Amino acid sequence: MIGAYYKLVRLSDEVRAANKIRSKARLDCICYTDMVVGDYKGLTNFVNHKGQLYFYKTPCREFITTDSKRLAEWSLTGNGLNFSSIYIDDLDFPEIGYGYPNASRHLTNGSENPLFDFRNDGYLFVMNKDYSVIEVFIIPDGRNLISSYYQKFIDGGFDDEVQQLRQQAKPIYSYNEFVL
């Protein structure tokens, strides 16, 4: 059911300096597992010319208008795009969230939305308290049932699959002076 897994981390000061990364809000993907045949393409717009996949942890209030019943304090952005807000509905589990891409054909600036082809995907997030480590689990075509998948994730219904994805993860980019 889970089509892809990505682990994002805030790299250490030493690794960031060695790779000429200045932003402290940047979260780099250090490993991934892709279970989708032909590789999942929904994140290609967030990969730079070096092959690094990364996002910035951005406060939602800067650009998101949302229903006041949903709590989304943070979002993941990159290359001028909002990948997803991170919604947390169950406050007893603040380390687990969900989200999905913008489903509009066009962005607010009028340009084509590069995530439009992936508008039906759903995301589950596992993060630590300060959001310096975020795991992203992608469920292709899972948007309409993401609330159910979120509850199933909290209840441990994906535990075996998550464990397998973590064990199969491989580096996406070799950072200077970085060891997994």
Residue 178, pLDDT > 70, answer no
| Mean pLDDT of the 137-149 span | 97
Q: Which pLDDT tens digit goes with each residue over 153-168?
A: 999 999 999 999 999 9
CA angle 141/91/140 to nearest 5° reads 10
pLDDT of residue 38: 53
pLDDT of residue 138: 96
| Mean pLDDT of the 119-133 span | 97
| Mean pLDDT of the 35-58 span | 86
Residue 177, pLDDT > 80, answer no
**Highest mean pLDDT (candidates 11-20, 52-61, 82-91, 142-151):** 142-151
pLDDT of residue 141: 96
Residue 110: burial class (beta carbons within 10 Å; 0-12, 13-18, 19+) = exposed
CA angle 47/52/58 to nearest 5° reads 70
Structure tokens at 60: 């939602």
Query: In 125-171, where does DSSP find H-type helix?
Result: 146-154, 159-168
CA 67 – CA 140 distance, rounded (Å) = 24
pTM: 0.91
